[in-house]
């Protein structure tokens, strides 16, 4: 395995970690206005992710840094071509981060309700846009021979990409509902379990439709075969098993199953792309690959050494933080947010 492939794998791992962790953050934010019947309930919901949401977003920053350093041409083409969509995502993420800090600065119900809806919007919009972005990556976008995106914003809003947005949105919301079932107690836990039970079937349908559309809109299944292998099939099996665990109130196992669904789905996308990074819809030979879009071998070598030292430390620290804040949260104890 050469360094280009290693960094493709590492970049994929960073995105998998981001979607697994930030996925339930998004889901919690989306469910906030609906499961929180009063201010105490909403504070309980926010406090489930309060100590970890910013650390979860670091995975995205790290993934972006890895893209910039390992595959600068991919970074340049992606960020220039998807500029408006990524700018919109950035704005909503900023508003969401501000909302977490500002909502408790005033006890006025109108003030708090406004910031709660900002958390909702800052969670919903990125969830949809991530699905749209990855749908376009596997479907292909107009890239010319000079690695320039020559389409416009509206080209990205095609039916397949929008189906990806709905699939990502439903999966993250389900993931967040199960996380709330794990992290809360009392009425909030009961409502979260009920929400997970209601969300499971729509999620299965939307994901199934998105996968089926992939047979017609992309070349992923001609590359992977009609039977795509253990990982893609495992994603579907895990999602089906999540429903059984939800009905039996096995919250930990249900959360593990939705986590596997997200991880295996991301791996499937990486398998369908490799060795490509962005598919050109104009000419397959103009697609960006891990070779024509990469940095020099020396840069990749130095990055590998740095990653080998610091990635385990980051994983240990984040694992420790989740262990410290592992207890369920209820309205009977002091709340920070």
Percentage of residues of the chain with pLDDT beyond 70: 97
Predicted confidence at residue 337, as pLDDT, reads: 67
Average pLDDT, the chain: 92
Note the pLDDT tens digit of each residue in 279-303: 999 999 999 999 999 999 999 999 9
- Contact criterion met (CB below 8 Å) for 35 and 41: yes
Calculate ∠ Cα 152-157-158, nearest 5°: 110
Gap between the Cα atoms of 233 and 208, Å rounded: 12
Which carries the bigger pLDDT value, residue 133 or residue 331? Answer: 133
Is the pLDDT confidence value at 54 over 90?
Answer: no
Which tokens belong to 82?
Answer: 């998807």
Question: pLDDT-based confidence at 332, cuts 50/70/90?
Answer: low
- Sequence-distant (≥ 6) Cβ neighbours of residue 179 within 8 angstroms: 24, 27, 28, 48, 255
Model confidence pTM above 0.85:
yes
Is the pLDDT confidence value at 225 over 80?
Answer: no
Which tokens belong to 286?
Answer: 């103009």
Please name the residue that has the structure tokens 């990524």. 86
Residues in the chain: 337
Gap between the Cα atoms of 42 and 113, Å rounded: 10
């Amino acid at each position: 395995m050469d360094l280009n492939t290693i960094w493709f794998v590492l970049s994929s791992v960073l995105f998998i970690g981001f979607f697994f962790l930030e996925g339930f953050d998004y889901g919690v934010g989306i469910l906030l206005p609906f499961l929180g019947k009063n201010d105490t309930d909403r504070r309980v919901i926010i406090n489930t992710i309060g100590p970890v949401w910013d650390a979860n977003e670091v995975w995205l920053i790290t993934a972006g840094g890895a893209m910039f350093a390992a595959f600068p041409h991919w970074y340049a083409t992606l960020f220039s071509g998807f500029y408006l969509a990524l700018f919109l995502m950035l704005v909503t993420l900023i508003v969401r981060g501000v909302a977490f800090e500002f909502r408790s600065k005033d006890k006025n119900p109108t003030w708090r309700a406004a910031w709660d809806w900002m958390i909702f919007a800052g969670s919903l919009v990125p969830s949809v846009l991530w699905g749209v972005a990855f749908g376009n990556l596997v479907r292909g976008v107009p890239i010319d021979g000079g690695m320039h995106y020559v389409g416009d914003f509206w080209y990205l809003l095609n039916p397949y990409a929008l189906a990806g947005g709905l699939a990502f949105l439903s999966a993250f919301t389900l993931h967040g509902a199960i996380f709330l079932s794990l992290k809360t107690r009392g009425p909030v836990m009961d409502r979260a379990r009920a929400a997970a039970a209601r969300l499971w079937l729509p999620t299965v349908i939307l994901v199934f439709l998105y996968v089926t559309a992939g047979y017609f809109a992309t070349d992923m299944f001609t590359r992977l075969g009609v039977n795509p292998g253990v990982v893609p099939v495992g994603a579907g099996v895990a999602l089906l098993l999540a429903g059984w665990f939800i009905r039996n109130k096995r919250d930990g196992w249900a959360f593990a199953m939705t986590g596997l669904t997200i991880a295996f789905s991301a791996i499937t996308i990486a398998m369908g792309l490799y060795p490509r990074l962005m598919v050109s819809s104009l000419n397959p030979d103009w697609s960006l690959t891990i070779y024509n879009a990469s940095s020099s071998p020396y840069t990749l070598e130095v990055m590998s050494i740095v990653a080998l030292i610091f990635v385990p430390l980051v994983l240990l620290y984040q694992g420790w933080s989740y262990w410290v804040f592992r207890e369920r949260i209820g309205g009977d104890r002091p709340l920070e947010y």
